[in-house]
Structure 1
């Protein structure tokens, strides 16, 4: 039962985080960010947010710094939008899956050309 609730909370957080990051964050360091996944612990105390950032490595680092500085604001906004007893502690991580998929796609297309 707890796993089902954690999945529902993670999906709701994913939706709300996408809206918050695109409309509410005014930090110039935060670039074009897409929330790809949210994993919430079974006790709903921790949330790991996987993001995809468009840009070079320096822009990605700046975006992570900007998001780290905005954690309090983001957590407050999540608390207002989702009714939970305690809002989960948020940590941001870059989702490497898209870049990994692109690399495999490039390798496969190079093999097909030869």
Structure 2
């Protein structure tokens, strides 16, 4: 795995900020859950593709509906991204469900259950 350059890291942050604004304010698809967050973005160095990791607070059906709604609105989100960012190429967006937050909460609950909920001093 190769290390991201400073330029690529800044671009990832800027794309993540713009996409979260677009998803929250611009896209009006009722399938997209209101508690949807963009947890990470990975733009390819050639600016052709972009993996967008989405975290949804809800059950399995809401997560599937949100991903389906975002995949359906990917072209619109890409166009809005092109208007707000001045890039040579606007990357193709690929939405991926990120369940790391739920996994972390689940592991934290298991650890608390094993320790009896006591914190060491």
Do both share a fold (TM > 0.5)?
yes
Computing the radius of gyration from Cα coordinates, the structure with the larger value is 2
Shorter-chain TM range is: over 0.9
**TM-score scaled by length of structure 1:** 0.94
**TM-score scaled by length of structure 2:** 0.89
Match of residue 98, structure 2, among 95, 98, 103 = 95
2-structure distance, mates of 1:91, 1:46: 7
Equivalent residue runs for 1:41-80 within 5 Å: 41-80=44-83
1:18 — aligned with what?
Answer: 20
Tell me, which stretches of 5 or more residues in structure 1 are unaligned? none
For 2:5, what is the secondary structure of its paired residue? helix
Tell me, which stretches of 5 or more residues in structure 2 are unaligned? none
2-structure distance, mates of 1:8, 1:80: 18
RMSD between superposed Cα atoms in Å: 1.3
2-structure distance, mates of 1:15, 1:65: 21
Give the superposition deviation at 1:6: 1.5
